Structure 1
Amino acid sequence: MVHRPIYLDCHATTPVDPRVLEAMLPFFTEQFGNPASLTHAYGWEAEAAVARSRQTLAAAINASPEEIVFTSGATEANNLAIKGIAEACFSRGRHIITVQTEHSAVLDPCKYLESLGFQVTYLPVQPDGLVNLDALDKAFRDDTILVSVMAANNEIGVLQPLAEIGMRCRDRKIIFHSDGAQSIGKIPLDVEAMRLDLLSLTAHKVYGPKGTGALYVRRRPRVPLAAQLHGGGHERGLRSGTLYTPQIVGFAKAVELGEAAMAAESARLTDLRQCLWNGLRPLGGLHLNGHATQRLPNNLNLSFDGVDGQALLLGLRGIVALSSGSACSTVSSAPSHVLKALGRDDALAYASLRFGLGRFTTAAEIDQVVAGVISTVQALRQVAE
């Protein structure tokens, strides 16, 4: 059997949980109907499955089922939220606030809108990766129509203070969106307590299938949103296209499992992360990226002094599967924009590892990774001397 490295890249994607696959399978074969076909039993079966899934996802974030709009993933959800608000609120203002450390699925739509005449304020972060709320207060303008701040950072795992941000937006009647791709099923999300108007979700970060996600769209008070896909009027006209029933069922099952095990899994992963951190500390020359505790329980992001970043990843290739940053930015040769925003220089930003622990990670695997990283870093430092 071919040896495969230990998988610690769960921020990039996660394996489909067998229980999720089991829930999906009937909708590929026996219950294959189109949920929009409401004249026969095949369509009714699919439509009922979608309705149940909608209820499950809504309950997980304290929303109503009618506020869940299915998409192909968080990237589409982010685009629908940001561009949809820009178009719908064009007459009210053309100013948007976001954060320098956002995922490209938020930053790129904002840059696109800038090319159309919108103005975007990119808030800096503090050295621990958290938004400075005073800076946010100063960024608000009379023509601000949207604030977009991700719930949990995909590289450094930092959890932003959504409730405090939401309160500030609500007081000013500004729409508040969050990219929750890394958060659903891992940390508590409550759109009411956090005063969220829009929340982007995806399945494949929480042991569900790739290719499906959702956007929560508040109905009271109603959030104006311009559709980005037209044709058929699906999802109340906000997102046309035949719903992918097996994927949606799998998404809901994945979230259901994540919610049920959240407390216990969070404690287990926090313990494993601490073991990893304690095991690597004797190396010295380590820099923790992001807040020490206000972060996802499965995230550890470290920069290593005295090593070449590319050599580090190559040296670990047969030991552990991980990355130095977002899977969506690995085609770029530039250092991580997230780590640069924290103040890391290019050398440290390149020589960084993002450890993404997961549901199937074991203590024995963490021990193996610690040993492999220590030996690799020590060897590279000796060569560099």
Structure 2
Amino acid sequence: MFFLYILFPIYIDYSSTTPLDPRILEKIIPYFYYKFGNYSSKNHVFGWTSYNIVENCRRNISKFLNCDSREIIWCSGSTESNNLAVKGYSLFYKNKSKYILSIKTEHKSILKSLNYLLIEGFNIIYLKLKNNGLIDLNNLNNFLKEKIILLTVSYINNEIGVFQNIFFLSQFCKLNKIAIHIDCSQAIGKILFNFENIKIDMASISSHKLYGPKGVSILYIRRKSNIYFKPIFHGGGQENNLRPGTIHTSLIVGFYECVSLIKKLIFFENLKIRNLRNIFLIELLKIDSIYINGDIKYRIPQNLNISFNFIEGESLIISINNISLSTGSACSSNTLESSHVLKFLKNSNFINSSIRFTFGRFNKLTDIYFSLKFLSFNIYKLRKLSPFLII
């Protein structure tokens, strides 16, 4: 009877994307039909209505982030926001210097933008990482012999869930006159932001990681930093010529509703999810030969990345088709490459045995216990078939 009301398949992959919250869906439906006007149409009431709605959303999101509404640029997703920040900024200042700092465990949208800049003649310096995935802050000064123009790093790693010391990094960059860009895609909804206190120059935030619609994000650009960009898109001149294109009013309303909801829920939601994750971890640790990837202390409550020795991660996922999981970033799941993040951790021998469990708003205790029961059975079954282990 305990498992009677479970909905299948169970979703434990909230870092890939989150379901649209029904409360948000209800709010945005009118903007697909009778409030459909173009933000840029200034000649009639449909355009005026859309313009006022979008600007109201911009103001309210800026209040949540504690920043100026003029510092928010609408984009289509964090991949676009990251590309605009990293490439647009670097190409504008390329005559000043061509040295950029980052880390090798970044999201592919950052790494591939850096690879593009490498072809354009830039020098990419990767900071040293500890075995737990955190930046080794003791060696930062070693990189100052070159004139660095940009540091780009994720607040929270999308695979192992560890969060970097952004306060320290922002102060370091401010003292050394280095622009800093933070990918906050995995941090929104898990950590409260205050851009007035964290002196960062640019930040990317996506809606679909926050139970909102896909296809909308923001790029925060601090006005006091007085920085400029070379546009990498060209069109009608929207968003100060940085991101031209028709403004999607309905998605922006969805983003705003996400933020309104998270302000009310963030404390209790994180507490609930932490409890679910801890129950899951305690029970999972009863299984032999498993390893936690990434620092367990400096980690968001939503994430667990576990390596199961003697098992291929993909084999385990295929065997448990009632549970939706991933071996790492959804953006890399269509390739056969091993995780580029886990290569830099101490358990690198077990890269192909890793599973990422990420919990969220709609998980229940019954999900946790059923998943544990099903996982334990299939781990035992697969290890029994393993030529490297005799049970």
CA distance in 2, matches of 1:300, 1:344: 15
Post-superposition Cα deviations, 1:267-321, rounded to whole Å, max 9, x if no partner, equal 111110001101111102111111112111111110111212222111122x210
Query: 2:186 is matched with which residue: 165, 182, 189?
Result: 182
Query: 1:320 is matched with which residue: 319, 323, 334?
Result: 323
- Secondary structure, in 3 states, of the residue corresponding to 1:283? coil
Which residue type is aligned with residue 369 of structure 1?
A: S
Shift of 1:4: 3.1
Compared CA separation, residues 149 and 169, structure 1 to 2 (3 A): same
Which residue type is aligned with residue 348 of structure 2?
A: D
- Is 1:363 the counterpart of 2:357? The answer is no
* Structure 2, unaligned runs of 5 or more: 1-6
Query: 1:281 is matched with which residue: 282, 285, 289?
Result: 285
Matched residue, 1:59 = 63
CA distance in 1, matches of 2:144, 2:195: 22
Q: Is the 8 A contact 2:314 2:327 kept in 1?
A: no
Matches within 5 A, 1:38-117: 38-117=42-121
CA distance in 1, matches of 2:202, 2:100: 14
- Secondary structure, in 3 states, of the residue corresponding to 1:48? helix
CA distance in 2, matches of 1:259, 1:350: 38
Matched residue, 1:332 = 335
Shift of 1:6: 0.3
CA distance in 2, matches of 1:235, 1:135: 38
Q: Is the 8 A contact 2:12 2:325 kept in 1?
A: yes
CA distance in 2, matches of 1:74, 1:308: 30
Matched residue, 1:206 = 210
CA distance in 1, matches of 2:129, 2:289: 23
CA distance in 2, matches of 1:354, 1:259: 27
**CA RMSD of the aligned region, Å?**
1.4
- Is 1:241 the counterpart of 2:245? The answer is yes
CA distance in 2, matches of 1:323, 1:140: 38
Q: Is the 8 A contact 1:164 1:194 kept in 2?
A: no
Matched residue, 2:122 = 118
Matches within 5 A, 1:121-132: 121-132=125-136
Return the TM-score normalized by structure 2: 0.95
CA distance in 2, matches of 1:221, 1:179: 18
Shift of 1:135: 2.6
Post-superposition Cα deviations, 1:221-258, rounded to whole Å, max 9, x if no partner, equal 21222221111110111111110000111011112212
- Secondary structure, in 3 states, of the residue corresponding to 2:151? strand
Query: 1:376 is matched with which residue: 372, 375, 378?
Result: 378
Shift of 1:190: 2.0
CA distance in 1, matches of 2:236, 2:344: 43
Query: 1:308 is matched with which residue: 312, 334, 337?
Result: 312
Matched residue, 2:4 = none
Matches within 5 A, 1:149-228: 149-228=153-232
CA distance in 2, matches of 1:345, 1:80: 32
Shift of 1:140: 2.9
CA distance in 1, matches of 2:374, 2:39: 49
**Runs of 4+ in structure 1 over 6 Å off:** none
CA distance in 2, matches of 1:362, 1:297: 15
Matched residue, 2:30 = 26
Post-superposition Cα deviations, 1:177-221, rounded to whole Å, max 9, x if no partner, equal 011111112211222322110000111111011111110011112
* Structure 1, unaligned runs of 5 or more: none
- Secondary structure, in 3 states, of the residue corresponding to 1:185? coil
Number of matched residues?
382
Shift of 1:332: 1.6
Q: Is the 8 A contact 2:132 2:346 kept in 1?
A: no
Which residue type is aligned with residue 331 of structure 1?
A: N
CA distance in 2, matches of 1:369, 1:140: 48
- Secondary structure, in 3 states, of the residue corresponding to 2:371? helix
Matched residue, 1:296 = 300
Structure 1 stretch displaced more, 111-120 or 254-263: 254-263
- Secondary structure, in 3 states, of the residue corresponding to 1:12? coil
Matches within 5 A, 1:248-263: 248-263=252-267
Shift of 1:265: 0.7
Which residue type is aligned with residue 291 of structure 2?
A: H
Return the TM-score normalized by structure 1: 0.96
CA distance in 2, matches of 1:260, 1:88: 40
Which residue type is aligned with residue 374 of structure 1?
A: S
CA distance in 2, matches of 1:137, 1:60: 34
CA distance in 2, matches of 1:193, 1:138: 27
CA distance in 2, matches of 1:104, 1:56: 30
CA distance in 2, matches of 1:259, 1:333: 39
Which residue type is aligned with residue 371 of structure 2?
A: V
CA distance in 1, matches of 2:182, 2:225: 17
CA distance in 1, matches of 2:93, 2:347: 37
CA distance in 2, matches of 1:140, 1:190: 28
Q: Is the 8 A contact 1:288 1:301 kept in 2?
A: yes
Shift of 1:37: 1.2
CA distance in 2, matches of 1:107, 1:139: 19
